[in-house]
Structure 1
Amino acid sequence: MCSFSSKSLKTKFKNLAVLLFVSALVLSASVGEAMENGNWSYPGGNNAFPARLTPKGLNILNATSIRHNSELKDNNGDDVPITYDVRAITSSTNFLYNTGEKVLGGYLALYSVVPLLDLRVKTPAGEDSVSGVGDISVGISNAYISKNWQIIPSLEVIMPTAQYDKNDIVSLGFNRFIFEPYVMLNYMSDSGFIVGTKTMLDYSTENHDTDYKSGQELHMDYAIGQRIGACTFGIAGYFYKQITDDKIGSHTVKDSKAQAIGIGPSLVYSSNNIDFTFQYTKDYAVKNKGEGDQLWFKTYIAF
């Protein structure tokens, strides 16, 4: 049932020790989500609501999603009149270890994300599909927790570990490193009102097989909602803006900066040491990338 007293809600939030950054840390790799080929490095809106704080030891979060892009937008936000259809099924597992140690006043946690991908695309160059393990990422976070606030500075590195071939229409990996420092800021009132943000800056190294270097990306996931008993109801989404142009070798790719906004409903159900999240995100105001929507199902287990 999605109901219990505000007193127990307040006590539960106050006594938790270290935040599992939940869905914010999970899907670092997804279909073509990189500025090379008109996409980007992080699937926006994945952060959703702040979840429970992790006990010391191993915690596991799985995020499974279905992503569909049916339109490609140009620099003015207009449709590019070509055949373009992308469907991605992803199942990414975050293995997070809470050390239980305090460093500089925060609670230290280490994690790694392993994504399984099934990608299918249609483009003017033809159709292609691929399945397998995507680029693996590693990260470190330090969580500062008070009664109503959570501040979590972190650094994640997406590594070029997956299959990649520049001659393929679609590959499992990016063939480059992506460095992503970010900060999560979450507030939860005594009555269960929640606001959460995750602000990220992505810096990509050059893809040496293509001499392509994607521009820097600034983006923020957000969530606003109300906790009622064991359930949290609200909206979640993202703001995304590429802040530097792409480059091919030493040449700047003119009008290559991408942007997008996403929004949709979100529901989180919590029971004992397990959380379930359902979320839908629709893209708007898209430029220089694919436009579509995404359905998420996330499971968090604390051991």
Structure 2
Amino acid sequence: MRKSGAFTVTCVALSFMASIGTADAGEGGGSNLMLGGTTFQTPVFPETGFYYSNYINYYHASRLNDGDGNNVVPDLSLNAVVDYNQFVYVTPFELGDMKFAVGAVVPLATVRQDAGGVTSRETGLADILIQPLIVGWEQGNFHVAFVQGVFLPTGQYDPNSQVNIGRNTWAYQPQLSLGYIDPQGWEATATLSYVTNSKNKDAMISLLNPTGADYRSGNELGIDFAVGYNFTPNFEIGLTGYYYKQLSDDKISDPASNQALQDFANGLRGQVAAIGIGARYLTSFGEFYAHVDREFAARNRTQGTSAWIRWNIAF
């Protein structure tokens, strides 16, 4: 076994959906973007070989905001714990200064929702992310990584359930990570992800979609960022955060439901921002990351706190 080095060229994702008598960005509040999944050292490519990363994310929210930022479910308590298992193979093939890899992420999730005196809970496999193309480039302290990802509808899903950990759709995610990383100084890294969603032909029953007509969630943009200082090549601390914006309206195939979606909910376009603090530590047993982000300015989605612990190892 060899030392892992830094390697996190993917945005991992949880795709839970909640139905709590209202709705928020994306069908049932779901999204294949798990914000905050990429932080320090994201675009750095390691040497050829197999790599495993384990991500643990805990998310808690007590607010569901409408389009004006008002909390519409005062007694909400939403808690999610997700265990992401990422497998990556960095190939020996190179094209000029570019390196290539392939990967997959297998998430296991537990979600509990308490609202209106009703408790709902689901545990199981969420939507798997496959990454058939990962490309990396570096020049000195500048690093770039591109990932093409496809989300598979593998997660548990029931259109009549109060909580789902799968979305019952395919989704496509190109992702670009850029970073300036001085191993004995400052780092500034940003990861941009864009998600397009397929149509859900067995949609969740909700107030805005009482017949369960076909539902397509709008296109989404997510930006993760990290600014840190490497006190040594093995230890770093800094600021982390993210920004999310839904760029197009949700759409329902039933004309009456779709009109209501546009008239009363403005297409359920969501947004949120977050800021936090994190650290990275490299040991002979692998590389460890931890950070906590606090959300604010949420529109048409939940607003809460997200905490991450991550471990990378090479084989």
TM-score when scaled to structure 2? Answer: 0.85
| C-alpha spacing 1:108/1:184, structure 2 compared with 1 (3 Å) | same
The aligned counterpart of 2:313 is 301
Deviates more, 1:107-116 or 1:241-250: 241-250
The aligned counterpart of 2:169 is 176
| C-alpha spacing 1:191/1:209, structure 2 compared with 1 (3 Å) | same
The aligned counterpart of 2:7 is 20
CA distance in 1, matches of 2:109, 2:161: 16
1:227 equivalent to 2:219? Answer no
CA distance in 2, matches of 1:90, 1:21: 17
**Residue pair 1:67, 1:295 contacting (<8 A) in 2 also:** yes
CA distance in 2, matches of 1:115, 1:81: 28
Identity, % of aligned positions: 27
Indicate which of 110, 120, 145 corresponds to 2:112: 120
RMSD in angstroms over aligned alpha carbons? 2.2
CA distance in 2, matches of 1:136, 1:190: 33
**Residue pair 2:16, 2:31 contacting (<8 A) in 1 also:** no
1:56 equivalent to 2:42? Answer no
CA distance in 2, matches of 1:293, 1:261: 11
**Residue pair 2:183, 2:230 contacting (<8 A) in 1 also:** no
Once the two structures are TM-superposed, the CA of residue 110 in structure 1 deviates from its matched residue by 0.3
The aligned counterpart of 1:261 is 273
Amino acid at match of 1:218: L
The 3-state SS of whatever aligns with 2:163 is coil
Deviations 1:259-282 (A, max 9, x none): 000110001001246110111011
The 3-state SS of whatever aligns with 2:17 is coil
Alignment of 1:43-82 (within 5 A): 43-50=34-41, 53-82=45-74
Deviations 1:129-179 (A, max 9, x none): 111111111012100112111111211111101221100111221100110
| C-alpha spacing 1:124/1:148, structure 2 compared with 1 (3 Å) | same
Number of matched residues? 286
| C-alpha spacing 1:81/1:32, structure 2 compared with 1 (3 Å) | closer
The aligned counterpart of 2:300 is 288
TM-score when scaled to structure 1? Answer: 0.88
Once the two structures are TM-superposed, the CA of residue 219 in structure 1 deviates from its matched residue by 1.5
The 3-state SS of whatever aligns with 1:54 is coil
Indicate which of 237, 240, 250 corresponds to 2:244: 240
| C-alpha spacing 1:126/1:151, structure 2 compared with 1 (3 Å) | same
The aligned counterpart of 2:102 is 110
The 3-state SS of whatever aligns with 2:37 is coil
Indicate which of 151, 156, 162 corresponds to 1:158: 151
The 3-state SS of whatever aligns with 1:53 is coil
**Residue pair 1:54, 1:302 contacting (<8 A) in 2 also:** no
Deviations 1:168-217 (A, max 9, x none): 11122110011011100011136420000100111000111021111001
Amino acid at match of 1:298: R
Deviating above 6 A after TM superposition, structure 1's stretches of 4 or more consecutive aligned residues are none
Amino acid at match of 2:28: N
**Residue pair 1:98, 1:109 contacting (<8 A) in 2 also:** yes
Deviates more, 1:29-38 or 1:239-248: 29-38
